[in-house]
């Protein structure tokens, strides 16, 4: 019994953690199928051992919570969850429970949209408030974000005086693909699936961000309608459609067998919907009968959600190909014999990385099991070893980039293999945008859209090529013109004297950002001196470890990097640090900045400290010499006080840089 109790408690803790990740952070780490299996196991144990009943168990409440960043909204009608079933036998058992309480029944069958559940409130036909489900009783006020949803009606036609409806905000598969393509171009992490993307968009503090995500909503239930009486669910959905809502497609079935047949059809043809679905919902159609059946603590007894299991099918690996992403990471994928999964025909499946290939021992010619759980990218699960042909060929990622021929390097902190080429076509846009970014060469006006236009027009192919652009050519681009073109040329010319620290950051050498760039520029003074340094010499520099030293040396030894440097030199870009160290009064001292200073920005104060030979750190430790604290200083100040670190304000800082010593108060 103790063992059972421990398992129940462990399951509760694990499920609550997954609830937090799914509902509150929109970042699940397991599939819906795996989550459902955990919840089902807990339900079974609790049913068999009622002595361990706990009203706070995840089986007794809806999973979400309310974030403090949004105003709370108490739902006029609770937004309940649904009881899941995973087989037609379980669905028939649900039907038997319903039929035992009712003389006759019919059902509405609808696709279960995989999005974010919302409550929408209208007064006299005007949209006044929208909220997330939250914990079912209290949600988050996301009205302004909901106003950006493309197909949400702001004003209804012939609606009752007060109307509250429930719907699902979703991101269409088409928009999701566009969004991830753009994120890949920028080198951002890809979003896992449309549901997470939609949920994250709704929780943005800036409605402009939500608007850019092109979300939609599908309404599926009337929560409250003053002055209007409906007899069936189907009738209420028809009314909602007449008011102006986009309503969930629904079919009325007279028997549970008809429901099962329709659920199969929905699952087989789920690609006909613009949104992802993870199941089908079966609801008693009569609203009077629903009232008779009632609800449990968290879910109605008159509805069930049939969850589609992740499909697993066999296919044959025809080939393994390698793609180079916008960040330079090489991703292998299996080209497989076409197989139908989750309503779509699949011809490719991800193999993640070389470690994954080695672990499964996937070979070209193998028969493999392929899964598409929910709507995620298809993946190879395992190899059917018994069906391996004699000529099956092992695969290894290439040692040189298939796009540019540069050497491939493995990330020190992971399994990713990455192209090291400074001129790799696959990384072209990302490298150029980074080179021109504020923390690097700070070329105003050369953002992502302009860079993309220059590349598309054949005017730009590498970062160094920026300095060979001509105003006349730029002016011919869409939305540019002579003035904008000349402004860009002026910004490019100005960046030539940005200095060595910014140039090193702009190169995009792994492990070398703005901070390491400053350290290297201060130590060597010129790019030529840095290029002549050995790996051992680089490692001896404070804050430059072995991994960073190796990355620097490998980058400068690369032919593509050397070509970029030659072009930059010929264009007149400064290779000198330009650092004016007034004196070394702060040499060996480390400062931490916190809070808002009356006169200086943090960046300005940091530059002053570095100009006197000091170092600026982002965290307080025993090695910290001074903490320069301004208004609203936070935890760094508290930590400094606890450690007995010297704390100075801006007045004392000005004294120190105006001729005083490096001694603090």
Locus of tokens 């492990």: 511
* Host H or E run for residue 258: helix 256-268
Q: What whole-number distance in Å separates Cα of residue 371 and Cα of residue 348?
A: 11
Q: Which long-range contacts (CB under 8 A, 24 or more apart) does 386-394 make?
A: 388/363, 389/365, 391/365, 392/363, 392/364, 392/365, 392/366, 393/363, 393/364, 393/365, 394/361, 394/363
Q: What 3-state DSSP class applies to 371?
A: strand
Q: What whole-number distance in Å separates Cα of residue 424 and Cα of residue 463?
A: 11
**Which ranges constitute the DSSP H helices of 52-172?**
88-101, 143-146
Q: Which structure tokens are listed for 194?
A: 């449309």
Rounded to 5 degrees, what angle do the CA atoms 364, 366, 372 make? Answer: 100
Angle separating helix axes 428-436 and 173-186, nearest 10 degrees: 60
Residue of 5, 67, 112, 313 marked active site: 112
The β-bridge partners of 370 are 313, 380
Is 112 designated active site?
yes
Q: What whole-number distance in Å separates Cα of residue 215 and Cα of residue 197?
A: 9
**Which ranges constitute the DSSP H helices of 167-245?**
173-186, 194-202, 207-212, 233-243
Q: What whole-number distance in Å separates Cα of residue 204 and Cα of residue 217?
A: 17
Nearest to 353 by CA among 339, 332, 322: 332
Are 196 and 28 in contact, with CB atoms under 8 Å apart? yes
Task: Report the catalytic residues.
Answer: 112
């Amino acid at each position: 019994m103790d063992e059972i109790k421990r398992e129940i408690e462990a399951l509760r803790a694990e499920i609550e953690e997954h609830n937090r990740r799914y509902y509150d952070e929109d970042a699940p780490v397991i599939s819906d199928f795996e989550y459902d299996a955990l919840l089902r196991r807990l339900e079974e144990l609790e049913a068999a051992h009622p002595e361990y009943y706990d009203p706070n168990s995840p089986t007794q409440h809806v999973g979400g919570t309310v974030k403090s960043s949004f105003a709370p909204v108490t739902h006029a009608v609770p937004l309940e969850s649904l009881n899941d079933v995973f087989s037609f036998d379980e669905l028939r058992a649900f039907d038997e429970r319903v039929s035992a309480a009712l003389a006759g029944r019919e059902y509405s069958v609808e696709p279960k949209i995989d999005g974010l559940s919302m409550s929408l409130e209208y007064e006299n036909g005007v949209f006044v408030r929208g909220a997330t489900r939250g914990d079912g009783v209290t949600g988050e006020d996301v009205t302004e974000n909901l106003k950006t949803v493309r197909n949400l009606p702001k004003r209804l036609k012939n609606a009752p005086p007060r109307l509250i409806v429930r719907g699902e905000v979703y991101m269409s598969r088409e928009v999701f693909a566009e969004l991830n393509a753009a994120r890949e171009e920028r080198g951002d992490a890809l979003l896992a699936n449309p549901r997470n993307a939609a949920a994250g968009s709704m929780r943005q503090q800036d409605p402009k961000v939500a608007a850019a995500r092109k979300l939609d909503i599908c309404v599926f239930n009337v929560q409250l309608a003053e002055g209007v009486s409906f007899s069936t669910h189907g009738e209420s959905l028809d009314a909602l459609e007449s008011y102006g809502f986009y309503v969930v497609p629904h079919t009325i079935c007279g028997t549970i067998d008809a429901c099962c047949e329709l659920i199969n059809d929905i699952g087989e043809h789920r690609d006909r919907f613009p949104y992802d679905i993870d199941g089908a919902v079966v609801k008693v159609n009569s609203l009077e009968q629903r009232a008779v059946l009632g609800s449990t603590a968290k879910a109605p007894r008159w509805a069930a959600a049939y969850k589609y299991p992740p499909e697993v099918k066999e296919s044959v690996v025809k080939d393994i190909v390698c793609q180079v992403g916008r960040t330079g990471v090489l991703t292998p994928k299996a080209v497989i014999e076409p197989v139908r999964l989750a309503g779509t025909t699949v011809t490719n499946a991800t193999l993640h990385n070389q470690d994954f290939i080695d672990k499964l021992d996937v070979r070209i010619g193998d028969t493999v099991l392929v899964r598409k759980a929910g709507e995620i990218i298809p993946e190879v699960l395992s190899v059917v070893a018994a069906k391996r042909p004699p000529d099956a060929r092992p695969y290894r990622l290439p040692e040189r980039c298939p796009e540019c021929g540069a050497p491939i390097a493995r990330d020190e902190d992971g399994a990713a293999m990455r192209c090291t080429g400074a001129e790799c076509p696959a990384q072209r846009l990302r490298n150029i945008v980074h080179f021109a970014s504020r923390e690097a060469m700070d070329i105003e006006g050369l953002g992502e859209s302009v860079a993309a236009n220059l590349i598309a027009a054949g005017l730009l192919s590498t970062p160094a090529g920026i300095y060979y652009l001509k105003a006349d050519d730029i002016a011919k681009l869409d939305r540019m013109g002579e003035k904008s073109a000349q402004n860009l040329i002026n910004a490019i010319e100005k960046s030539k004297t940005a200095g060595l620290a910014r140039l090193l950051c702009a190169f995009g050498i792994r492990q070398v950002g703005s901070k390491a760039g400053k350290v290297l520029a201060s130590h060597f003074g010129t790019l030529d001196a840095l290029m002549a340094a050995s790996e051992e010499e680089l490692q001896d520099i404070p804050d430059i470890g072995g991994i960073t030293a190796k990355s620097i040396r490998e980058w400068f030894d690369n032919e593509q990097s050397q070509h970029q440097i030659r072009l930059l030199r010929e264009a007149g870009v400064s290779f000198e640090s330009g650092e004016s160290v007034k004196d070394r009064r702060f040499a060996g001292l480390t400062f931490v900045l916190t809070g808002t200073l009356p006169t200086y920005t943090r960046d300005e104060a940091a530059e002053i400290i570095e100009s006197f030979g000091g170092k600026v750190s982002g965290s307080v430790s025993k090695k910290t010499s001074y903490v320069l604290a301004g208004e609203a200083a936070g935890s760094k100040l508290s930590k400094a006080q606890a450690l007995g670190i010297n704390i100075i304000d801006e007045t004392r800082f000005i004294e120190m840089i105006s001729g005083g010593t490096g001694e603090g108060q």
